Amino acid sequence: MTLQRYKLLIEYDGTPFCGWQRQDEDPSVQQTLEEAITAYCGQKVRVFGAGRTDSGVHATGQVAHIDLSGSHNAETLRNALNAHMRPLPVSVIQAEEVTADFDARFSARHRHYCYRILNRRAPPALDKNKVWWIKRELDHHAMQKAATVFIGQHDFTTFRAVQCQAKSPVRHLTRFELVAGGDRLEWHVSARSFLHHQVRSMVGTLKKVGEGFWTADDVRNALEARDRRACGPVAPPDGLYLTRVDYSEDDERAG
Amino acid sequence: MTLQRYKLLIEYDGTPFCGWQRQDEDPSVQQTLEEAITAYCGQKVRVFGAGRTDSGVHATGQVAHIDLSGSHNAETLRNALNAHMRPLPVSVIQAEEVTADFDARFSARHRHYCYRILNRRAPPALDKNKVWWIKRELDHHAMQKAATVFIGQHDFTTFRAVQCQAKSPVRHLTRFELVAGGDRLEWHVSARSFLHHQVRSMVGTLKKVGEGFWTADDVRNALEARDRRACGPVAPPDGLYLTRVDYSEDDERAG
């Protein structure tokens, strides 16, 4: 029996889920997709994702791969999965056939996250659970300056969760940029891969800078301490979005 | 007893409400605000809004006025109303003292709406109830060309709800512009005032153009027919946002 591998581009609202990964009790994005596949074609398959987002974290560009036996039109597959997942907030934006050497997680060359902040006194009415609401006015310039401390290759021990299972705490950040418009701020952060809670740990620490409690030097000292206890508060999951995963052309050639 | 008038700038998610206006049975935005005011200071007052948005229609810049006896710090008022409305999705962004001749509805010089469309095969996961999901690919150029038919002063009988209570069907549109980015489209529409269901009737008609069923000439003929039956389908409320209301400087001077 031959298997065909499919690459899925996925959007989801992380609010009602325990995260990407299957857990025993709570509904996960992975389980939602796996159950939709079974409902569509009867096959029990595992869905492999590029990034294991935490509970409450969203995605506009998560990528996953699955192997199915038999021949399935990619558009039909996408539409069927979306129909079976209704009304849960998970949507397959695109499905395409790929070769068996494409791996959503291990072939990923670059991951992009966006962290959204609403910076005003009034709570969000339209973006509840979709932004980090910060009441105190933030100093954009100071935050952007401090963020440059993170760019490049560093030991991010300070900014990884205690339960992080990565072998090495060294990561290489290629982008850490603040885009502001009115009372809305977006952090754009890119790297080949991230440690567990890394983006939220860095964004939470930069909030201390924006509020005037920490300087860029304090952030540098925290990074150099290589000590989890030197980290600022961890930002809530609400504002975090996995927006894109890049692969080399070779990994994406049609099967 | 002297009364002080306050101008409120309000954001809301229209999904759980029967609309702006109080109704007997269902919760409205107006009622939510009025009950929060009573909870804050014990006064039973009426909240007058600039635009009576329909059920499911959102606002990022609705304006209202209220009269309160006694002296209230505007920031305290805003924060107290927001605290009392929690967890309902209504948020007072700003409160300020104004003179008694300021009227949120009758002093309004210009109203601005945005209508958001998600144009792709996959359903929205993150913007459910917040966009109009249109699967068929839309022709942006044809839609923008047809939209110019509406700009200027016209008799909009074709594009008003049967139950519209305005005395005149004549309105003057100053802007009807399409802003597109990827699979997201936004119509920006401005006028001193609008007829009931006018924006949704026009946007629904322009969808027929985007799908290739109607031409700009068909839209012109529908407008000139001055007949409600010539209108295309009315767009759903989900994508509509009241984004801004303009007043002249004189109407906003501090009290």
Is the Cβ–Cβ distance between A135 and B93 less than 8 Å? no
Helical packing angle, A140-147 and A216-225, nearest 10°: 30
pLDDT of the residue at B2: 86
Cα separation, A55 vs A22, in Å, equals 11
Task: Give the strand pairing for A132-134 and A108-119.
Answer: parallel
Q: What is the mean pLDDT of chain A?
A: 95
φ and ψ at A172, to 5 degrees? -120, 105
Write out residues 73-92 of A within 8 Å (CB-CB) of B: 75, 78-79, 82, 86, 89-92
pLDDT digits (tens, 9 = 90+) for A204-215: 999 999 999 999
Q: Which residues in chain B have Cβ-Cβ distances shorter than 8 Å to A58?
A: 126
Touching check for B96 and chain A: CB below 8 Å? no
Q: Do B125 and A90 touch (CB under 8 A)?
A: yes
Tokens of A173: 């950040």
CA of B76: which chain A residue's CA is closest? A121
Choosing among B73, B75, B96, B121, which should be mutated to test the A contact, i.e. which has the most A CBs within 10 A? B121
pLDDT of the residue at B178: 98
3-state secondary structure of B228: helix
A160 membership: H or E segment, kind and range: none
pLDDT of the residue at B250: 54
Q: Which of A91, A94, A123 sits opposite B91 (nearest CB)?
A: A123
B179 membership: H or E segment, kind and range: strand B170-181
Tokens of A10: 């996925």
pLDDT (average), residues B210-226 = 97
φ and ψ at B163, to 5 degrees? -85, 10
Q: Is the dihedral of CA B116, B122, B124, B126 positive or negative?
A: negative
Model confidence at B255: pLDDT above 60: no
Cα separation, B126 vs A229, in Å, equals 34
Helix ranges (H only) for B108-173 are 140-147
Cα torsion through B110, B115, B116, B119, rounded to 10? -140
Q: Which residues in chain B have Cβ-Cβ distances shorter than 8 Å to A120?
A: 93
pLDDT of the residue at B251: 53
Residue A2's pLDDT band (cuts 50, 70, 90):
confident
Residue B127 a catalytic site member: no
Geometric angle at alpha carbon A182, from A235 and B172, rounded to 5°: 140
Residue A254's pLDDT band (cuts 50, 70, 90):
very low
Residue A250's pLDDT band (cuts 50, 70, 90):
low
pLDDT digits (tens, 9 = 90+) for B157-174: 999 999 899 999 999 999
Closest CA to A181 of A113, A111, A110, A131: A131
Touching check for A58 and chain B: CB below 8 Å? yes
pLDDT digits (tens, 9 = 90+) for A143-181: 999 999 999 999 999 999 998 999 999 999 999 999 999
Q: What is the mean pLDDT of chain B?
A: 95
Distances from the Cα of A113 to the Cα of A22, A143, A144, angstroms: 22, 17, 16
Model confidence at A101: pLDDT above 90: yes
The whole-model pTM stands at 0.94
Cα separation, A175 vs A195, in Å, equals 15
CA of A13: which chain B residue's CA is closest? B126
Geometric angle at alpha carbon A95, from A92 and A98, rounded to 5°: 145
Cα separation, B34 vs B46, in Å, equals 6
pLDDT digits (tens, 9 = 90+) for B25-83: 889 999 999 999 999 999 999 999 999 999 999 999 999 999 999 989 999 999 999 99
pLDDT of the residue at B23: 86
pLDDT of the residue at B137: 97
Residue B252's pLDDT band (cuts 50, 70, 90):
low
Tokens of A121: 């006194």
Q: Do A11 and B75 touch (CB under 8 A)?
A: no
Tokens of A166: 């990565």
pLDDT digits (tens, 9 = 90+) for A10-68: 999 999 999 999 887 889 999 999 999 999 999 999 999 999 999 999 999 999 999 99
Residue B248's pLDDT band (cuts 50, 70, 90):
confident
